[in-house]
Chain A
């Protein structure tokens, strides 16, 4: 099984800050990685797919990078609407899709 880790688990930041979240896979997944944002009581929302492709309608302050085993999600200037939990998801094969444990971004 491919294991996913995320760091940090919690991140305290202020509006306007540049925020970076890291996701690591236990083995290479090429660029088969997605990022989701989830707010309390709501379903996750797809932000990034194929490691760096921005989903339609997602603000350009969100960006993704990486390949192989290490990936990052960057928010260039944190906005009030961005305080949420972020999950990475690997999809290297149809038979095993796994999510990272999540990173909570809260107000500093």
Chain B
């Protein structure tokens, strides 16, 4: 099966600019996650979707981050305006809507904010 696709692979922007990341999950996976991974740390959940509804966005900085999942398939994560501390890898993951199903991750987008 095709894996989770993410783009772009790398992005460099200046602070206060905006940026968007795209994710295409594995076909049939109802649950989609966006994680932020700062260098040397574990992934931190930003938002979880079940189909096109939000399950958990408690750790999403909503003043600058937004995410949507159109028609329950692809998803975009946007940052506007970016801050220096947003420099990180943004990982998208998907899973089946079944207890115990593992997460399948994309290779992430490495964001550098200068």
Q: Is B one of A's binding partners?
A: no
Give the A-binding residues of B (Cβ under 8 A).
none
